[in-house]
A and B are shown apart, each in its own frame.
Chain A
Amino acid sequence: DIQMTQSPSSLSASVGDRVTITCRASQSISSYLNWYQQKPGKAPKLLIYAASYLQSGVPSRFSGSGSGTDFTLTISSLQPEDFATYYCQQSYSTPYSFGQGTKLEIK
C-alpha cells in the first residue's frame, strides 16, 4: 500500500500570507495526486487533481505542483475562508490513500 505523509500537520498563518503544504508518497505515483479542503462538519471538497489541475470553480490562488513522490499545495494569498484542513490523496493504485491532513489556522 502507498503511504501519504503531509507536512506540516498544522500551520498558523495570517490573511494575505502565502502558504505551502507538502505531501510525500512512499513510492512514485507519477502525477496521480489530488488535494481536498475540509471545513469542520463538512465533507471534503476537491481543489486540485492530477497534481496541478485546478478543479472548476476553485479560486486561482490555489495551485499544485510536483510529480513522483513529492508534491505541494500553495495558496498564494490566504483568505478568511481558506482556514480549513487540507488532505492529499493518491489515485495511483488501490487502496486509494490520504495524507493525515494539514490544519491551517489563523495566526
Chain B
Amino acid sequence: QVQLQESGPGLVKPSQTLSLTCTVSGGSISSGGYYWSWIRQHPGKGLEWIGYIYDSGSTYYNPSLKSRVTISVDTSKNQFSLKLSSMTAADTAVYYCARGVVTIIVVFDNWGQGTLVTVSS
C-alpha cells in the first residue's frame, strides 16, 4: 500500500518561497503512469488543485498559480517537491500531496495527511 507524507515548514514569511517535500513509501515514484500532485485547502474552504508532475518529468500547473509554482521529482529519494514563490497570507492553507492514477479517468487515490502552512511575519 503506497503511503505519502508531506514535510516542510509550518510557517513562512510573506514574500518568501515555500518548499514542501512528499516522500512516497510502499512503491516507486519511478514506476510510471502516475500524476504526482499537490492540492491545497484554505482553512475551512474547499480544495484547489495546484499541479502535477508526470512520469518523465512533464508538469502541468493550475494557471492561477503557474507563475509561482514549480513541481519536481527526486527519484533517488522517492520524493517529489513543491516550490511556491512570493507567498502571501492568501497562500495559508493545508497542503496535500496526492497520487493521481488513471482508473478509467484520473483519480486521486492516495493522499498524504496534509501539512498546514501559515504565512505570517
Q: Contact check, B107 vs A98: say whether CB atoms are below 8 A apart.
A: no
A22 to B86, CA, bound (A): 37
Enumerate chain A residues within 8 angstroms of B109, measured Cβ to Cβ: 46, 55
Q: A1-B63, A43-B96, A44-B111 are in contact. Are A98 and B49 (CB under 8 A)?
A: yes
Size of interface on A: residues with Cβ below 8 Å to B: 26
Is chain B's binding surface mostly helix, strand, loop or mixed?
strand
Q: Contact partner of B48 among A42, A50, A55, A98, CB < 8 A?
A: A98
Is chain A's binding surface mostly helix, strand, loop or mixed?
loop
Q: Contact partner of A98 among B46, B60, B106, B111, CB < 8 A?
A: B46
Q: Contact partner of A101 among B46, B96, B107, CB < 8 A?
A: B46
A42 to B46, CA, bound (A): 13
Enumerate chain A residues within 8 angstroms of B96, measured Cβ to Cβ: 43-44
Q: List the one stretch of A12-20, A61-69, A74-82, A89-97 in contact with chain B.
A: A89-97
Interface pairs (18), CB distance under 8 Å:
A31-B105, A32-B105, A34-B108, A43-B96, A43-B98, A46-B107, A46-B108, A49-B103, A53-B103, A55-B107, A87-B46, A94-B62, A95-B63, A96-B106, A97-B49, A98-B46, A98-B48, A100-B45
5 A-B pairs with least C-beta separation: A43-B111, A50-B104, A91-B106, A98-B47, A95-B62
Q: A32-B105, A34-B107, A89-B108 are in contact. List 8 more A-B contacts (CB 8 A).
A: A34-B108, A42-B113, A44-B47, A45-B111, A49-B103, A53-B103, A55-B109, A101-B46
Contact residues of A with B, CB < 8 Å? 1, 31-32, 34, 36, 42-46, 49-50, 53, 55, 87, 89, 91-92, 94-101
